[in-house]
Structure 1
Amino acid sequence: MRGQDIARLTWANYRADPDMGKVLAFVPRKNGGKVGEITIGVPAELRSLLDAMKAGDGTVQPAGNAPICRNSRGKAYPTENAMRQVWQQVKLSEAFKAALPDGQDLTLHGLRVTFASELRESGFSDREVADMLGDLSEGMGKRYSRGAEMRKTSLRVHQRRNAS
């Protein structure tokens, strides 16, 4: 998922799914007309956080068209860059440093690459990785998941070189 898509997600994009529990379903801004809607299953940790956010104050729940990621005034970020600037500020906070002491180099784009690598390490093809990223070409799936392939190669080399 690109930062520009994260910035535009609304509560209508977060929905129940009979097979995956909860999903984020959206049409990516880039290539959306060609790839259509992407549906990504939401892991349990994120689902807990989103469910708590969606519950609001217990009386008023956010409208379906309300942004999930919002600024201090409760509004959608006007641009991906505005959201990225806030992300940089969050990483400087003491709470973030305490929760993720080694997380200072985390970027929105880096999370996209990590997602692609995790998919590849789980055995998904370059085409499947590209589909989940909203990319048209299989080559982009391969590009984003190259770290996973390098790790597999490194492991094979290590095992062969150190075999008794």
Structure 2
Amino acid sequence: MRATVSHWLREKERGGLIGAGTTLHGLRVSYAAWWKRNGATNAEIAELLGDRSQRMGTHYTRHVSREDNVVRAFKRLKQD
């Protein structure tokens, strides 16, 4: 399946329909991040991705938590 999806993505890339370098992994990360930013739990995200382990929900959204930390830090700077 991965090879089929990869070939399909390259075809869409050549046609200018998606950005260069789009990958199945990148799409999974973007999808998971969107759900996390909109309130989904790690367990829900894992289920949405078709994974059995809640750890995968955490794995695919760890950058969202880091972004939240950066945003909070800058908000504190603005308040001072």
Q: TM-score, normalised by structure 1?
A: 0.44
Are 1:156 and 2:72 counterparts? Answer: yes
- 2:21 is matched with which residue: 98, 105, 112? 105
Equivalents in 1 of 2:32, 2:8: separation in Å?
A: 24
Amino acid paired to 2:70: S
Give structure 2 stretches of 5+ with no counterpart.
none
Aligned residue pairs, count: 80
Which residue identity is paired with 1:87?
L
Flag the structure with higher helix content. Answer: 2
CA deviation string 1:64-94 (max 9, x = no partner): xxxxxxxxxxxxxxxx31331232132123x
* Alpha-carbon shift at residue 128 of structure 1 (Å): 0.8
Unpaired segments ≥5 residues, structure 1: 5-79
Structure 1 residue 144 and structure 2 residue 66: aligned? Answer: no
Q: Is 1:118–1:148's contact at 8 Å kept on the other side of the alignment?
A: no
Q: Runs of 4 or more off by more than 6 Å in structure 1?
A: none
The structure with the larger Rg is 1
Q: Give the root-mean-square deviation of aligned CA atoms.
A: 1.7
- CA 1:138–1:86: 2 relative to 1, 3 Å: closer
